[in-house]
Chain A
Amino acid sequence: DAKTTQPTSMDCAEGRAANLPCNHSTISGNEYVYWYRQIHSQGPQYIIHGLKNNETNEMASLIITEDRKSSTLILPHATLRDTAVYYCIVRVSGGSNYKLTFGKGTLLTVNP
């Protein structure tokens, strides 16, 4: 699996957009970018995933660069409940993507 690099921590003001970057320069053509988050003491929660096109759902948007070597998760209007550790994971899709490799992620702190 491709390795990912994320900042250790970030701050964001409540109501503003939170932009979380992830570098994955060794990503393969068949690997997707997945984002999960983990609110303190809870199990991880799936947010979004994408291959090469930008994706949006009710939680967030995912912007993947054209060369696919990096991506950005965008929380459009961050709330205090979005304070969590955010994990960027690169993995092939399909059945075998149950074997996720979690790094240390980015601790996003949303401030009032």
Chain B
Amino acid sequence: NAGVTQTPKFQVLKTGQSMTLQCAQDMNHEYMSWYRQDPGMGLRLIHYSVGAGITDQGEVPNGYNVSRSTTEDFPLRLLSAAPSQTSVYFCASKGGTGKEQYFGPGTRLTVT
């Protein structure tokens, strides 16, 4: 199993540009989440999904959209990038009865 994969690893955007961060898992997990981590801070939940076709907002959802058309994929869309969205983004997944979350390696995004 590849686990949780994220692409790209690094990205630089100009203010106002849009882009999609990709996340995929091959463990047939029901739950998937997106977190962001700013310097010196813990992770904050952006959006999450409890299964294909179902998504909901986390702690800091503004400026981001998600969709879950398949069990495997959970892309995060930045609609109009802002410097405040400069951060490291982590995707995570969890099985229905599993106790632990599996995290991807992260995407480091810089918005200038």
Provided the pairs A44-B90, A98-B31 are in contact, do residues A104 and B105 lie with their beta carbons within 8 angstroms? Answer: no
Query: Chain B CB within 10 Å — which of A32, A34, A99, A102 has the most?
Result: A99
Judged by a CB distance under 8 angstroms, whether B75 is at the interface is no
Residue in B32, B40, B45, B102 whose CB lies within 8 Å of A100: B45
The contact size tier of chain B is 20 to 34
Q: Could you give, for residues 1-32 of chain B, a 1 whenever the CB lies within 8 Å of some chain A CB and a 0 otherwise?
A: 00010000000000000000000000000111
B30's nearest neighbour on chain A, judged by CB, is A95
A105 touches B42 (CB 8 A): yes
B50 CB–A CB distance under 8 Å: yes
Q: Mark contacts of A31-52 with chain B using CB atoms, 8 A cut-off: 1 yes-contact digit, 0 otherwise.
A: 0101010000111111001000
**Residue A97 at the B interface, CB < 8 A?**
yes
Is residue A76 contacting chain B, with contact meaning CB distance below 8 A? no
Could you list which residues of chain A lie within 8 angstroms of chain B, going by C-beta atoms?
Answer: 32, 34, 36, 41-46, 49, 87, 93, 95, 97-105
